Chain A
Amino acid sequence: MHTTLEELDMQAKQILAKFGDNNISIKERTTIPLQEMPAQDPAVRITNMEEVALGYSENQVKVEAMRCLQCKNKPCIQGCPVGIDIPSFIKKAAEGDFAGANAKIKESSLLPSICGRVCPQENQCQKYCTVGKMKKDVEQSVAIGRIERYVADYSREHNLDVVPSVKASTKKKVAIVGTGPASVAAAADVRREGHTVVMFEALHKAGGVLVYGIPEFRLPKKLVEREIDGLVDMGIEINKNYLVGKTRTLDDLRDKDGFDAVFVGAGAGLPKFMNIPGENLIGVFSANEYLTRSNLMKAYDQKHSLTPLFNSEKVAIFGGGNVAMDAARTAKRLGAKEVTIIYRRSEAELPARKEEVHHAKEEGINFLVLHQPHEIIGDENGFVKGVKVVTCELGEPDASGRRRPVEIEGTEQVLDFDTVVVSIGNASNPLLKQTTDGLEVNKRGNIIVNEETCETSIEGVFAGGDIVLGAATVILAMGQGRKAAKAINEYLSKK
């Protein structure tokens, strides 16, 4: 049963009427029910690209904030990669001081309206929350992310975000490669110190995975644009359509263009394939291509977009992570009748966030777990017509601690599909390594950095985000960007 925003708001209103002024005992706080996130009705939302989660109402956010016990030892903070003072901002939210709450978050995190939407809180702050621990269910923890989202949206909508102040010009120049979250964070913190900051982005829009990967229905692109505009307001120059390594090498940026330091936030951005027969048939896409067509090129809007879409009826998604959920839910919205996630372990091991799996199921996505694709079968014209899968069972735990999928002999079968989206993650794009002398990377192609400073093997060149961590998260990328910015500012002060 779908509960509407109005119904949820009404329930919250009743709770507020009961507890009124936030002056209640801990015991009473623990009796307040978790506030559910209002969402578009699944039957409706699969026909549009608009955001699924609608955000709390004012009553709901106040109620949810009242669930926080204001623990003295603040366990939630240790789960936050950037150390946001969580109880303090929640307290302000409970008191209705939303702008103050937002300002508190902004002391530690730059992009609350984005992180509130896409952070895997259940593995971070909410994992450590006392309320969740008491109820022995992490899903019962204070919904820190939802509160964060509300206060950030409130501040944006009421124009209460302040442009960070920038110190007097130091006449030093810093180049930032990429415009994803790592780069955004690094750029802002370096600019604050008065350095000239120029960002370089290969694509025709800035924002990295936030614009080309994560779908509109999870992260509206106007929010990303707004954050990028904020950088421009701080006096940061953004050069789009500029591929460092091709348009100009990283060495040239330093030697010819006089940049005193460089931050590389180039992201992961190299799609992995399964290396099974049939992967080059028509109708097989990497998740990056599939999502880029829809998000960056707006192909979901076929009335306006010139980028064509492949006509799909039955779509198979290989993989079980967040990227796979995004691809599956996108396929549904692009008109596929049937979308099936094929994953080799069991449902319990799905690496995707629970919430995303839940949303996917609500939207009618099928889950074929414990199956491994062996081959993609094509018709005589080279179009996909099926996928050969084999059934698996779970064996001993592997290096990752998850139980290894073991194929069961004699269980091969061919299932009908006309489209396959390979969503098994990204490796590092090798371009910068290939075009920069002395830039050291590890076996997986990730740039090696000093953990304290994010400095690479080249003096004055720093790196962070997915290009260092491998495919990670927005908040970890941002955290590294900030760390690198601190080191860059120190490096430049000595130069």
Chain B
Amino acid sequence: MNEILYKEKLSSEVFKMIVHAPRIAEARKPGQFIILQLGGDYNERLPLTIADADPEKGTITLIFQAVGESTHHLALLNVGDYIENLLGPLGTPTEIGKYGKVVCVGGGIGVAPMHPIAKALKELGNEVKIIMGARTKDLFVMKEEMEAIADELILTTDDGSAGRKALVTEPLKELCETWKPDLVVAIGPPIMMKFCALTTKPYNVHTIVSLNTIMIDGTGMCGGCRVSVGGETKFVCVDGPEFDGHKVDWDNMLMRLGTYKPQEKENHHRCHIGLHIEEGEA
């Protein structure tokens, strides 16, 4: 179970893994995620979106960015290694329907979880325009896959090394004005999702976001993942991860993500030493 069958380095800090997990591959739907733990007493539980799945082969695809200690440990595993603990599929699937015109916004690694959703929306006959944003050209992931789905693909980079030199919110605003989408799905760093939601708000376009709060169990037992949505407390792992972006209390969610910032920085430094990764590279 959970053997790593394929591994690819998509960019200096982003990895793709295909893992044998037949039960999860069979049950999962777009928008759902897994939680993994690399065995033993001390490893952390790590939530990752199921970027793709092949029920026939019994595999799921994970795409992750090595940002801290646990993701670095995962990145060190190779084909033939096993992920000892893999739980899923978790969360409520995306409500895929026929909306008409849809804009999908993927920021950085957020393109990976966006992929199955965009694909399913397209298959149901929606017109799908995709905006992909990254800090720089090398950090784009799954560009070909998204190109294959999109009716139009718009790229933006912070440094102008590919596509438009802009933030994703710029083309999003233009599309809201000129194309008038029926639905926007935004997945990426929390700050990007917040500003996407703020961008679409004046146009009253329903906007779905996928929240990546801190989690432990992923089954609704701890409440660590809670966020305030429309004034109510919700557990992201069971009630989400997707919510109406206009109702999320972004400031609270962003704050809560910073709960362990001081500790994480220290651990991250420690793992750079251990993994021989240049500071700044990941």
Would you call B88 an interface residue if the criterion is a C-beta within 8 Å of the partner chain's C-beta atoms? yes
Contact B258 A243 (CB under 8 A): no
Contact B87 A243 (CB under 8 A): yes
Residues of chain A from 185 to 202 with CB closer than 8 A to chain B in the complex: 202
Q: Which label, helix, strand, loop or mixed, suits the secondary structure of the B interface?
A: mixed
Q: In the complex the two chains form, what is the Cα distance from A382 to B89 in whole Å?
A: 32
Known A-B contacts A289-B216, A306-B42, A308-B267; A247 and B27 likewise in contact (beta carbons under 8 Å) = yes
* Residues in chain B near residue A270, CB distance under 8 A: 220-221
Would you call A298 an interface residue if the criterion is a C-beta within 8 Å of the partner chain's C-beta atoms? yes
Would you call A307 an interface residue if the criterion is a C-beta within 8 Å of the partner chain's C-beta atoms? yes
Q: In the complex the two chains form, what is the Cα distance from A311 to B259 in whole Å?
A: 10
* Residues in chain B near residue A311, CB distance under 8 A: 262-263
Select B85's contact among A241, A288, A292, A307, beta carbons within 8 Å: A241
Min CB–CB distance A264 → chain B (angstroms): 15
Contact B252 A204 (CB under 8 A): no
Select B221's contact among A246, A285, A288, A310, beta carbons within 8 Å: A288
Contact B260 A310 (CB under 8 A): yes
Query: Using an 8 Å CB-CB cutoff, how does the interface string of B219-230 with A read, 1 for contact, 0 for none?
Result: 111111011100
Min CB–CB distance B228 → chain A (angstroms): 6
Contact A381 B255 (CB under 8 A): yes
Contact A240 B221 (CB under 8 A): no
Select A269's contact among B24, B221, B255, B263, beta carbons within 8 Å: B221
Q: In the complex the two chains form, what is the Cα distance from A302 to B73 in whole Å?
A: 17
* Residues in chain B near residue A202, CB distance under 8 A: 87, 217, 219
* Residues in chain B near residue A297, CB distance under 8 A: 42, 44-45, 216
* Residues in chain B near residue A288, CB distance under 8 A: 221-223
Residues of chain B from 77 to 128 with CB closer than 8 A to chain A in the complex: 84-90
Q: Which label, helix, strand, loop or mixed, suits the secondary structure of the A interface?
A: loop
Contact A269 B220 (CB under 8 A): yes
Q: In the complex the two chains form, what is the Cα distance from A430 to B92 in whole Å?
A: 14
Considering the complex, give the chain A residue whose CB is closest to the CB of B38: A306
Q: In the complex the two chains form, what is the Cα distance from A310 to B86 in whole Å?
A: 26
Select B258's contact among A282, A307, A309, A429, beta carbons within 8 Å: A282
Known A-B contacts A241-B86, A298-B42, A305-B42; A280 and B233 likewise in contact (beta carbons under 8 Å) = yes
Residues of chain A from 238 to 287 with CB closer than 8 A to chain B in the complex: 240-243, 246-248, 269-271, 273, 279-283, 285-286
Instruction: Return 20 A-B CB contacts under 8 Å, by A number.
Output: A204-B45, A204-B85, A242-B87, A247-B24, A247-B87, A271-B221, A271-B222, A280-B227, A280-B256, A282-B256, A283-B259, A285-B223, A288-B223, A289-B224, A292-B217, A297-B44, A305-B41, A307-B216, A382-B255, A430-B220
Query: Which 6 A-B residue pairings sit nearest by Cβ, starting from the closest?
Result: A382-B255, A289-B222, A204-B85, A308-B263, A308-B260, A306-B44
Additional A-B contacts beyond A305-B42, A308-B260 (14; CB < 8 A): A204-B45, A242-B23, A247-B87, A279-B233, A280-B256, A285-B223, A292-B216, A297-B45, A306-B42, A306-B70, A307-B45, A310-B259, A382-B251, A431-B238
